Amino acid sequence: MITLENVSKKFNAFQAISSVSLHIQPGEIHGIIGASGAGKSTLLRLMNLLEIPDEGEVTVNGHTLTAMNSKQLREARKSIGMIFQHFNLAANKTVYGNVAVSLELAGFPKKQQRSRVMECLQFVGLEDYAQSYPAQLSGGQKQRVAIARALANKPQVLLCDEPTSALDPRTTAELLGVLEEISRLGVTIVIVSHEMNVIKSICSRVTVMADGKVYDTIERQPQGIVKKENRAQYFVDELKKDGEAGDA
């Protein structure tokens, strides 16, 4: 679904990505993990050409993005959604407006916009918040709006850059559940995270990055998402665990 062939990227003299080749299969949830500065976010941004590689080829769903002109690239990007750590919502637009704008930019037929926006908000459980503004929402709800926006154009690929890093553990688990549902729709998901529990819970293949290179790619059985019904108890349980480790 996504193929990088010998992709490199420099920022001034700094080699952020060095000749990376990677193949992400259709329908998988692929994790990218590594130390801070290893090049994870840059690698993700190379997959939709938010960063233009200095060398190498990027192909998504059979289309070589690196061979496209800007008009062709705009068209190809409709099939690639993206979400970010800090949600990147427009503060002056309602929840509805934030989702609608991605349809407008993509030239989606006006008459069908309303039903598509509401369908996406329903998918993420926010249909009652259509007229709210981002400032009125929790972090988890904001990320759901960002997901609804990313899904509006029915992408085949969803790129996620540290999607849960600003969220508490319970909200993280709920968000990962939403990503699993999206995966079940057949969308290929790539998720950059420095949180090992996030990667372990939903990823079936994981690329470990180090110094701008692929250190290894691991196939694994996702552990599943541990959902805690009682948010306060989650914190108590975690703190007690730490105490036990200290006593040992």
Ligand X SMILES: Nc1ncnc2c1ncn2[C@@H]1O[C@H](COP(=O)(O)OP(=O)(O)OP(=O)(O)O)[C@@H](O)[C@H]1O
State the residues that interact with ligand X by CB under 6 A: 11, 14, 16, 34, 36-42, 194
What is the nearest approach in angstroms of ligand X to the Cβ of residue 247? 33
Task: Specify the residue, 16 or 147, whose C-beta has the smaller distance to ligand X.
Answer: 16
Nearer to ligand X, 33 or 187 (CB): 33
Give CA–CA dist 211/192, Å, rounded. 15
From the CB of 208, what's the least distance to ligand X, in Å? 11
- Name residue, tokens 């500065």: 37
Cβ neighbours for 15, distance < 8 A, ≥ 6 positions apart: 8, 9, 212
* Of 63 and 194, CB closest to ligand X: 194
Q: Please say which residue, 37 or 222, places its beta carbon nearer to ligand X.
A: 37
What residues are paired with 213 via a beta bridge?
210
Q: Would you say how long the chain is, in residues?
A: 248
State the Cα–Cα distance between residues 110 and 67, nearest whole angstrom: 31
Give least dist CB 217 to ligand X, A.
16
Q: Nearest approach, Cβ of 158 to ligand X (angstroms)?
A: 18
Of 177, 188, 182, 222, nearest in space to 202 by CA = 222
